Structure 1
């Protein structure tokens, strides 16, 4: 999946920092990671009154959203090794939304007040309002606590697995822990302070 094999094959020294650096290079080559996707449905209604008449339209708009992490933003300083606890820590960039991607053929609309819509531009106004509101509703649903948690968990597991597998393959028993910006605590900062960013370790070896 990640093309890490060729990076590990080139790594002759079973050293966690060297392997982590190779795994990081493999991840960054993938550019973007999308480990979670979801489909939502927005139902919105707009009304308009003119000339003593009222018109309304309801729009049902399905849309899909992919949750991505820009792996190109990962730097060597975002990966640190704590030799005391055999823990590899990764500071991930935040989750980004790709979408919503709307399926035009799946959109449904219902309307009332045909007289007003035939005499004025009410229908076009209602359609524009509904499309805008529906997209906003899809984004609101996508950013809700539960899907964001699921997206973070899926992404975290994929990244941790990508770093852990090469370490395990060479017999290194290490704990891999990936966190997002809004998940980090004071304890994480303390742990980071006693860890060594792989950029520093590699620089000392030159």
Structure 2
């Protein structure tokens, strides 16, 4: 289940608003002092975007439920782990290059090709991790419990990543990234008095 983290995104929104203000001011300055063409504005905007380094357009909370089982000496032991964790979706803005921008004068469209979106390692919410075990005899006589716990933690991390890479959250993250980048380039163009459309897409997208 995807659970966007309101507090995290609230702080992120503040950063985006500040960055947008800087970019808007840049566009206003260009309009006032340079009266540039769209390519010049786009190039200046690219530099401002690159300086942000990493964009986190989306973050979501997932819950992994995994079970491990061991058998020894005719006994069995089973342990189930419930592991919630947050995953961030990141865009490396420093990877953007001038070649990733294309201005179409006929349609007055600026196309921006984005680098791949990456998924961060899950941040496990240790306060809400729950574990349930069966097979006390085997656990008491051996180190099975430690092995089960280690196996479940590894499986839980893998499950959180798998959920994060599912089609729906990846789509939500890509949409958020595209929207953020389109705004970052559209605002300076508008501030410079240039009527243009910005279309951001990921590599390989039609």
Report the TM-score range of the alignment, normalised by the length of the smaller protein.
0.7 to 0.9
Structure-to-structure mapping, 1:68-87, within 5 angstroms: 68-87=90-109
Of residues 17, 38, 55, the one that matches 2:39 is: 17
For the 8 Å contact 2:27–2:192, the answer to whether it is kept is no
Structure-to-structure mapping, 1:1-150, within 5 angstroms: 1-2=18-19, 3-11=22-30, 12-150=34-172
State the Cα distance separating 1:103 from its structure 2 match: 1.3
Name the CA distance, whole Å, in 2 between partners of 1:5 and 1:173. Answer: 15
| Structure 1 match to 2:180 | 158
Structure 2 gaps of 5+ residues are 1-17
Name the CA distance, whole Å, in 2 between partners of 1:68 and 1:170. Answer: 29
Name the CA distance, whole Å, in 2 between partners of 1:13 and 1:117. Answer: 75
Of residues 177, 182, 204, the one that matches 2:204 is: 182
State the Cα distance separating 1:182 from its structure 2 match: 3.4
Structure 1 gaps of 5+ residues are 186-206
TM score, norm. by length of structure 1: 0.86
Name the CA distance, whole Å, in 1 between partners of 2:43 and 2:66. Answer: 49
1:71 and 1:81, CA in 2 relative to 1: closer, same or farther beyond 3 A? Answer: same
Name the CA distance, whole Å, in 2 between partners of 1:26 and 1:182. Answer: 25
State the Cα distance separating 1:6 from its structure 2 match: 4.4
Aligned pair count? 184
State the Cα distance separating 1:181 from its structure 2 match: 1.4
Name the CA distance, whole Å, in 2 between partners of 1:24 and 1:166. Answer: 11
State the Cα distance separating 1:9 from its structure 2 match: 4.2
TM score, norm. by length of structure 2: 0.86
Name the CA distance, whole Å, in 2 between partners of 1:97 and 1:177. Answer: 23
